[in-house]
Amino acid sequence: MVRFHQFCMILMIICSSFWAKAQTRLSKIDSLNAALEKSVSPHKKVAVYNQLAKVYAKQTDSSQTVFYVQKALQLARQNNYLKGKMNAHYWLAQLYESLSYDSLAKATLFKALFTAEQLKDTNVNSNIHNVLGGIYKNQGHYTQALKSYQKALKLKEQLKDDFGVAANYNNLGGVFFNQGNFPKALDHYQKALNIWERTNHEKTVAVVCNNIGLLYIDLKDYTQAQTYFMKALNIRIKLKQERGVASVYNHLGMMHKIQKDYPTALRYYQQSLSIYRKLNNQYGVARLLHNIGCYYYKLKKYNVAHSQLTKALNIRRKLKSKMGMASTEMMIGKAYYGLKEYTKAVTYLDKAMKVFQETGHLDKISASSYTLKDVYKAQGDYQKAYQVFEIYHQAGDSIMNKEEVQKITRIESAFRFQQQQDSLKRQQQQKLNTLEIKRRTTRAWLYALLFGAVGLLLGVGLLLSRQKNRRKQNAQVLELKAVQQQLLNEQLQRKEIEGQILKEQLQVDQEEQRKVRHHIEEKDHELTKQALYHIRHQQGLELTLREIRELIKTTKDVVVSNRLKEVVKRIKKELSQGESWENFTQTFEMAHPNFYKRLKQQFPDLTEYDLKLCALLRLGFESRELASILNITLDSAKKARFRLRKKMKISDQDLSDFMRNM
């Protein structure tokens, strides 16, 4: 009940804030239009045109933005007003970037950058590099993104712009996060957070807290993720940032979905969707409808998933969001596959995969091609299934190579981080040793003063003895320092050797994994070819058998009829006993040497026929294909699967998945 009242209060705040912002935006446009009518100077008119372009660009109103940019550019060129041209190109690039037209955005930004360098405008130069970094990051070009953000950071430091410095630390953290370099990502996020908390920028504190929450999700530390998300949420509620509140709810839903807490995930998704609808934020509405559709797909409620995803697709088509449309079309194709509507599934999956291939999104290519391969297989179109499997295989290899590079980067980062920690420990130990020497020296001087007073009575002999003892102590301290330094050098050399051994072992393991994976894939290809050849061989024999039987019925020559009957017997024998099965079994045992052994150990009652059926299921063949390969009817194939499931006591799990996990 308390949560319901809180939610109602949030909605009331959001509605009032949205109304106020809408009125403010309209009044700003009206005031700019009034200023435009009063402006006499061409430079002032260009400035107003650019301000109007800025307002419309933030609203992603492409037609109005382009209209005012063209006005500003035309007037700026006529009057050779470089600053006006620069600002016009900058806001046009911002529009292209918001609409995901990355190539146009980069080309336009480079025009603005050229002008900014002519004008020596450090602030605009920094902002342009910042936007370029975002585009490179979205395209997955992380090295270029890091260079752009580091250039922007250096310029902001020259300007002593604390806010800009923190923003670039946050952006760099995002790139390191995408690279999988979590220690560096967290370090840069913390630097941004420290600056923004020190300068009381609560709005951006919420942004970086949200980013840290996402990082902890990837680290599977959900307690820390919840802490930072709630911190971001409280700030955004306080500042009445309705869109920000919706964004945090979306991320909380995503986190609970990963934890398989589905009711809580759905509740957060619905809260986020409700806010985006109140704001009439179509981008947010489409994103949440897509996420809710994925949620229902995960629960195998394909009809509900299809309904939500279709709504999301209709909105994204209106927004002309190319990647958003492709992502939703892929999920609709998957839903159709779950509903066994294979023709529709092919249409949506093929369209989405082509977009992903154009944009180079490897993970999306892999996901869409894998499902499309299964759809073609379900349709019995094995040629297309094989072609799409090749695409999936290539994308998988590229992703694996990329993940291996990220893995090596993480290991190297962790190693460097450990070296830094060891160096700090050595420095601290050296400081402690120095303090100990000073303490001993001070104590010795105190003793010297004390005994100096007494020395007046003891004489010169006692003073000489004290000096001798002090020289001995100093010699011991120096000897101790030399031994400690030698030990530190030995430890450092040992760590360097261990790091080199670890790196070399990692390379050897990667090469061995690649060879094993290549060998298994070759054997699986050979098995599939043998099985498909057996299908075609069986089908050819069956066709020949039917034609001979027709000839027997029609021929009147008894001798010919008897000869044909003998041929029929041989063909039947060939259909029941084919040498291809022996070759298939030998190749299968080479590719999966322990498969039959494990089956016989766990299920000793299995017959040779059962083992043959298990091998075909391991390769992913469906009932119709099994019937053709084993020369039995479809009903017999289904009964054979049922008897095998019963014999192996498998209730709900898919048989093919079970065999692949053996």
In order, the DSSP letters of 125-172 are HHHHHHHHHHHHHHTT-HHHHHHHHHHHHHHHHHTT-HHHHHHHHHHH
Q: What is the pLDDT of residue 417?
A: 44
Amino acid identity of residue 584, one-letter, is: F
Residue 643 CA to residue 624 CA, distance in Å, equals 17
pLDDT in tens, 293-306: 999 999 999 999 99
Q: For 403, which DSSP code? A: H
Q: What is the pLDDT of residue 33?
A: 66
**Residue 255 pLDDT exceeds 70:** yes
Q: For 577, which DSSP code? A: S
Contacts of 202 (CB under 8 A, 6+ apart): 235, 238, 239
Q: What is the pLDDT of residue 530?
A: 67
Q: What is the pLDDT of residue 439?
A: 77
Nearest 5°: the CA angle 181, 183, 185 is 65
pLDDT in tens, 62-113: 677 778 777 777 878 888 887 777 887 777 777 777 776 777 878 888 887 7
Q: What is the pLDDT of residue 288?
A: 92
Residue 158 CA to residue 172 CA, distance in Å, equals 18
Token representation of residue 376: 């073609």
**Residue 529 pLDDT exceeds 90:** no
Q: Say what percent of the chain tops pLDDT 90.
A: 29
Average pLDDT, integer, range 445-458: 72
Label residues 370-387 b or e (16+ Cβ within 10 Å = b): bbbbbbbbeeeeeebbbe
Residue 477 banded pLDDT, cuts 50, 70, 90: confident
H helices of 59-99, in order, are 62-78, 82-98
Residue 12 banded pLDDT, cuts 50, 70, 90: very low
Average pLDDT, integer, range 594-611: 89
Average pLDDT, integer, range 251-275: 93
Count Cα atoms within 13 angstroms, Cβ side, for 482: 6
Q: Say what percent of the chain tops pLDDT 70.
A: 83
Residue 232 CA to residue 20 CA, distance in Å, equals 23
Residue 415 banded pLDDT, cuts 50, 70, 90: very low
Q: What is the pLDDT of residue 407?
A: 47
Give the lowest-confidence range in 40-44, 200-204, 535-539, 550-554.
Answer: 535-539
pTM of the model: 0.52
Output 398 or 324, whichever has higher pLDDT: 324
Token representation of residue 168: 């670039």
Average pLDDT, integer, range 270-288: 92
Label residues 311-320 b or e (16+ Cβ within 10 Å = b): bbbebbeebe
Mean pLDDT of all residues belonging to the chain:
81
CATH architecture of 592-662: Orthogonal Bundle (1.10)
Residue 200 CA to residue 238 CA, distance in Å, equals 14
Q: What is the pLDDT of residue 337?
A: 93
Residue 498 CA to residue 527 CA, distance in Å, equals 43
Q: What is the distance in angstroms between the CA of the first residue and the CA of the last residue of the chain?
A: 50
Token representation of residue 610: 């059962």
CB 373 within 8 A of CB 346: no
**Residue 431 pLDDT exceeds 90:** no
H/E run at residue 360: none
Residue 503 CA to residue 411 CA, distance in Å, equals 9
CA distances from 390 to 124, 354, 405, 515, 651 (A): 47, 15, 23, 18, 33
- 3-state DSSP assignment of residue 465: helix
**Residue 30 pLDDT exceeds 60:** yes
Q: What is the pLDDT of residue 206?
A: 93
Residue 662 CA to residue 659 CA, distance in Å, equals 5
Contacts of 249 (CB under 8 A, 6+ apart): 233, 268, 269, 271, 272, 275
H/E run at residue 181: none
Q: What is the pLDDT of residue 346?
A: 92
Q: What is the pLDDT of residue 290?
A: 94
CA distances from 117 to 45, 123, 166, 464 (A): 23, 11, 23, 75
Q: Cβ–Cβ contacts within 10 Å for residue 366, how many? A: 21
Residue 66 CA to residue 91 CA, distance in Å, equals 9
pLDDT in tens, 166-202: 999 999 999 998 888 889 999 999 999 999 999 999 9
Residue 350 CA to residue 34 CA, distance in Å, equals 51
**Residue 602 pLDDT exceeds 60:** yes
Token representation of residue 532: 């498909």
Output 349 or 62, whichever has higher pLDDT: 349
**Residue 308 pLDDT exceeds 90:** yes
Domains of the chain, residue spans: 592-662
Residue 36 banded pLDDT, cuts 50, 70, 90: low
Average pLDDT, integer, range 463-468: 77
**Residue 565 pLDDT exceeds 50:** yes
CB 606 within 8 A of CB 600: yes
pLDDT in tens, 117-145: 888 888 888 888 888 888 888 877 889 99
Residue 250 banded pLDDT, cuts 50, 70, 90: very high
CB 188 within 8 A of CB 169: yes
